[in-house]
Chain A
Amino acid sequence: MKIWDPLYECMPRADLEQLQLERLQATLNRVHKSVTCYRRKFDEAGIVPEDIRSLDDLSKLPFTTKEDLRLNYPYGMFAVPLREVVRIHSSSGTTGKPTVVGYTKNDIRTWSNLVARFMTAAGVTRDDVVQIAFGYGMFTGAFGLHYGSETIGASVIPMSAGNTEKQIMIMQDYKTTTLVSTPSYALTIASRMEQMGVDPKSLSLRVGLFGSEPWSEAMRKEIEGRLFINATDNYGLSEIIGPGVAGECEYKCGMHLFEDAFIPEIIDPDTGEVLPRGSVGELVLTTLTKEAFPMIRYRTRDITSLNYEQCECGRTMVRMKKTMGRSDDMLIIKGVNVFPSQIEEILFAIEGCEPHYQLVLEREGDTDVLEVRIEVTENIFFDEMKKQKAFVEKVEKRLHSVLGVSAMVKLVEPSTLPRHEGKAVRVIDNRRR
């Protein structure tokens, strides 16, 4: 299968490490000069960029966390003036404020090429018709895949998410060959096709690029078996660049992480210590080519491991395993990032409600369903059904507007939610298959 950028993707490791060091040193010089937050962090750690003389020295630098992004909301982490930024995206934050990321013209081009790499690795060519069923808007997913497809020269259908029947109609009529969506939405499409009596084999569909939520090998098998396509995985996050951090090749034995643009580390999420090669731990990423929004040792909170063995496809870039979970309590519901603390805040804010709550996640058919169980207290003990109903509706509405996903609210009797050592079990996730 073709390799989009063989010069970099197949670069000998020694050359790659030299390039990484050069780009790392240049990035550190840049952020030290133009980003106050980094300069302060380096000062506090007693470090100047010149102290970093090898890739191993990277571990001397302090981490960057989502909290840093929140404290510097909205533009404090930008390394270039806003007039040089041509695009702003954001992702949901832990507590109300979203995190804001920016791109220069060059960043957009770099991004497009990185996405083109994993799309090519998945088998997409200029002859393909790519239907993008990610939501456009503030999320990076749709735009990243959109640019990657155009860079390859494929035809893009910017469908956006939702309206499954129309998705299927367009798939039939426009002869879509490539589907871009969340893996769960691919299954929604498959089910709807079955209901509508559409035979997936009658379609031109052959490749699926799925991301933005964790999914299992079993789910891959199911998607491949029901849609008759080659289902591939890719990884990214908007704080780093969006999709385009890593993606699978035809051997599907881990996602090649584009190390000419990012340096990955695996750390112990509790101690922050860098773990030896091959260990399972939290992924930490440093960007090497970003102009507008460089990130130094960003804690992704995703748990994975890295495999440095040479892959049969010819790429020399390290492979990361499918993410195995989170080192924080973030939930991904219908592709949207949700933190229990966000829900807690909403409940706090609504008068009369103390946060004895529990989140129950189910997968009904192929969709995620979130139920928020709230213990009734004296404050919200209403005799009147009407008042209770109004309260539930108020919370549901508020949750939907803040989280971006709908939730069902259920009131339960006092002291019925299970507790461990006085602490409530906040989340029950029944979605894992």
Chain B
Amino acid sequence: MLRVKNINTYYGQVHALKNISLHLNEGEIVTLIGANGAGKTTILNSLSGITPPRDGEILFEGRPVAGLSPDCIVDMGISQVPEGRQVFKDFSVEDNLELGAYLRYRKREKKSVIRKDIEDVFELFPQLSGRRNQMAGTLSGGEQQMLAIGRALMARPKVLLLDEPSMGLAPLVVQEIFRVITDLRDQRSTAVLLVEQNARAALKIADRGYVLETGKVMLEENAYDLLENKDVQRAYLGRDKKEIWER
């Protein structure tokens, strides 16, 4: 569905992504694992057009994506949920969701269809439903994250790019959010590219994963194998620590 070949992305002089190739199939959760600065967020930003790659190929359903503006990319079916939620704090929950359908409004899609999608988001996150008229800024961190995901879903994406959805959230809330991510895959066949600090939790719901190091892919494996991989365990899952450091 999404096929990336040899993309190179730069921040000024800094060569942030070196020849990254990866793919994402329909109905698949793929996670990117790596230390800070390995290039995880840069990959998401390259795909969504926020920091377009300098070269390489991105094909979405056979059509080239690289070089298009972010709004065109959203229109094609790729939506990003940015790190740190970034909801519009002074807008109500409902308004935030409506903004997520901005392009659809512009294309004069029927309002009733969009209304239906808003109700679907409330069904997905019942917690938001009771707060639909509340300002987004007054929501808890977890609710804001739900809203950010809901807002992205309003564009009816086929691919969802999720950046650190669990950051700063209580474990129970994280569980709820991860449940929704798996539901999206299982019920809507949405493909999810998930960047997560909590690598273990991400690998538990993911189908496959890529391990990144200094802007390069070091490993592509199914999620189970990555959980079992000693390098990954030591570097990103916190296992074995005692064994290593106390020697």
Contact = CB atoms under 8 A, between A and B. Distances in A.
B19 A53 contact: yes
A49 interface: yes
Nearest to B231: A80
B225 A25 contact: no
A316 interface: no
Interface stretch (B133-141, B145-153, B215-223): B215-223
A291 B218 contact: no
A53 B20 CA distance: 10
A22 B217 contact: yes
Contacts of B229: 104, 106, 291
Contact of B219 (A18, A19, A30, A50): A30
A109 interface: yes
Nearest to A15: B23
B132 interface: no
A104 B218 CA distance: 16
A169 interface: no
A50 B219 CA distance: 15
B217 A26 contact: yes
A106 B221 contact: yes
Contacts of B231: 80, 84
B51 interface: no
A83 B240 CA distance: 12
A111 to B, nearest CB: 12
A29 B23 contact: no
A23 interface: yes
B198 interface: no
Given A21-B5, A22-B21, A53-B6, A80 B219 contact: no
Interface string B225-238: 10011110000000
Contact of B3 (A18, A53, A83, A291): A18
Contact of A26 (B5, B23, B218, B228): B218
Contacts of A49: 19, 216
B169 interface: no
B228 A106 contact: yes
B76 interface: no
A29 B228 CA distance: 20
Contacts of A33: 213, 218
Q: Which of B18, B21, B22 has the most CB of A within 10 A?
A: B21
B40 to A, nearest CB: 15
Nearest to B18: A50
Interface residues of B, number: 22
B23 A30 contact: no
Contacts of A19: 23, 220
Contacts of A52: 19
B21 A21 contact: yes
Interface size class for chain A? 20 to 34
B230 A84 contact: yes
Contact of A25 (B23, B211, B217, B221): B217
Nearest to B15: A50
Contacts of A26: 210-211, 217-220
A394 interface: no
B25 to A, nearest CB: 8
28 contacts: A15-B23, A18-B3, A18-B21, A18-B23, A19-B23, A21-B21, A22-B22, A22-B210, A22-B217, A23-B220, A25-B19, A25-B21, A25-B217, A26-B210, A26-B211, A26-B218, A26-B219, A26-B220, A29-B213, A49-B216, A52-B19, A83-B230, A84-B230, A104-B230, A106-B221, A106-B229, A109-B228, A110-B225
Contacts of B219: 26, 30
Contacts of A22: 21-23, 210, 217, 220
A286 interface: no
A105 B3 contact: no
A209 to B, nearest CB: 26
A229 to B, nearest CB: 35
Interface in B191-220: 210-211, 213, 216-220
A105 B228 contact: yes
B57 to A, nearest CB: 10
Given A22-B217, A26-B218, A50 B225 contact: no
A231 to B, nearest CB: 34
Interface in A27-56: 29-30, 33, 49-50, 52-53
A61 B167 CA distance: 42
B221 A289 contact: yes
Interface in A87-123: 104-106, 109-110
Given A18-B21, A18-B23, A22-B23, A29 B6 contact: no
Contacts of A18: 3, 5, 21, 23
Interface in A280-312: 289, 291
Interface in B81-127: none
B102 to A, nearest CB: 33
Nearest to A52: B19
A2 to B, nearest CB: 21
B221 A50 contact: no
A21 B221 CA distance: 13
Given A22-B21, A49-B216, A53-B5, 18 more contacts: A18-B21, A21-B21, A22-B23, A22-B217, A25-B21, A29-B217, A30-B219, A33-B218, A49-B19, A50-B19, A50-B216, A52-B19, A53-B6, A80-B231, A84-B231, A105-B230, A106-B229, A109-B228
Interface string B1-21: 001011000000000001101
Contacts of B19: 25, 49-50, 52-53
Contact of B218 (A29, A80, A106, A109): A29
A33 B235 CA distance: 16
A18 B229 CA distance: 23
